[in-house]
Chain A
Amino acid sequence: MSHHIIEIKDIEYMYPDKTKALDGLSLRILHGEAVAIVGANGAGKSTLLSHLIGVLIPSSGTVRIGDYPLNKETLTHIRRSVGMVFQNSDDQLFMPTVFDDVAFGPLNMGLPPEEATQRALDALKTVDAVHLKDRPPYKLSGGQKRSVAIASVLSMLPDILVMDEPSAGLDPYCRRQLITLLQSFKHTKIIATHDLDLVIDLCERTVVLSNGKIIADGPTLQIFNDDVLLQKGRLEKPLRMQGCPICKPAIR
């Protein structure tokens, strides 16, 4: 496997309505790293992820994925190596059955039907959703949809997994299953989330965004212990790192 280093240099992005979403942001992510992107609503997390798969092209600055700079010519290649799991699974699942949806990527990569079928089956097996394969996606529960959405990306065998709010809307059991599943992946993982407890489980490195800028980038636990920084990023210490108010009530 080639080493997929993600390198973002001084990117800026302005939405057509002139809101500046990213403001001179630079980031380097190494092969096999699991990085969390955290920050307040509107800090630029989703916009940043959109740049990694070329959904958005920066107004200035460069994005490099592996050996390729991201531009119109390399887009197809980059989208093969970067798999994006969208925030809303309903946007991602558009085929009439789960199986067709998971096989959509491999077929578009030009694989013969037999191989695409095998890939789709393997991916469904990984997320433990083979039994859903003939169901229409819009009739699944939230957790099932998320699993299938992940499978639809895994079937393309990406090197880098990009996820936008993977645990949003999942019940505690599904959320735990998702965490266990993601822990088993060897991919480079980039996860934008508000679920800081999930970050402790999955990512050794955390990047804090605020107003389109990186205000901190470092080891997860170190960042979550910095109260001033968390407050600046409009975050709160993960629940697991807060004293339990029931077992040990604060002394007044």
Chain B
Amino acid sequence: MINLHSRWMDLRRLDELAANDTEIHRLNPCTKIVTTAIFLIVVASFSKYELISLFPLFLYPLTLMNRAALPFSVIAKRVFATMPFVLFIGIFNPLLDHTPGFQVGPFLISNGWISFFSILLRFILAVTSALILVATTGMDKIGSALLRMHVPKMFVIQLMFMYRYLYVLLDELSRTLLAYSLRSFNETGLPFRVWGPMLGQLLLRTIDRAQRIYQAMLCRGFSGEVRLLRYNALAKKDIAYCLGWSAFFLAARIYNIPQWLGALLIGRY
């Protein structure tokens, strides 16, 4: 449990990475948001049983991680942390859908399993691209870009505060758990009976602390506008970036690139 504190420090890595300065970081935030959105739409638009044709899309997150110097482990760790959700979403497919899909040697793979892995892949693609967006842009810039794109201010502020207070909540949680673990001997994990009081405490303390932070922001003139020191204006390279990737996403959506590559190999040799 004591480990939680270091985990929480680790959580903020995304913000630290966002302060880096690479060619991807320097792109206009609007460009990155739009490109990510197109990517997500394309990923979601594949049919339920699509598996192989999803693979070329991994080029996008991998290229970005490479160009923006994002450590693979930081992103991978966060994707794994969200994995339980998708397992619950997809786990019933193999149980309910037994129609035969294709055969690998003696094994018959049912469509249920194919759709399960399809969901898994799409989930990894989506979460990775969203994490990359945050790690290369930073939440404050995303907020200001959304405002520029005329997203209603109320939504943007909700989003920014949620992100900010998430840290506050985790910070409080790590301290509460530490205090608990220091006075509970030989206990592993949190017994069920203390969950109620602890969550209640946590909620109240977080609300208090969130209130104080909000007051501190108000004291320094916060009025809901997100103002930034640096704003990267839309340049030609931004448009090229967005159009280039979009073209690739569409190509990957329309043509089954792995099949085509395979045919090319078989056809030639």
Contacts and interface: CB of A to CB of B under 8 A. Distances in A.
Interface of A: 53, 55, 76, 79-80, 83-84, 86, 88, 91-92, 94-97, 99-100, 103-105, 107-109, 113, 116-117, 134, 136, 138-139, 152-153, 156
Contacts of B215: 55, 91
Given A80-B221, A91-B209, A105-B221, 6 more contacts: A79-B218, A88-B212, A94-B164, A113-B228, A117-B229, A152-B220
A83 B221 CA distance: 11
Contacts of A153: 220
B227 A107 contact: yes
A91 B221 contact: no
B15 A136 contact: yes
A76 B221 contact: yes
Contacts, number: 73
A94 B229 contact: no
A86 B212 contact: yes
A92 B18 CA distance: 21
Nearest to A94: B213
A71 B265 CA distance: 76
Given A86-B212, A91-B212, A113 B217 contact: no
Contact of B19 (A55, A96, A108): A96
A108 B222 contact: yes
A100 B229 contact: yes
Contacts of B225: 108
Contacts of B212: 86, 88, 91
A80 B227 CA distance: 17
Nearest to A139: B9
B19 to A, nearest CB: 6
B2 to A, nearest CB: 18
A84 B217 CA distance: 11
A132 to B, nearest CB: 14
A113 B220 contact: no
B160 to A, nearest CB: 10
Contacts of B231: 113
B12 interface: yes
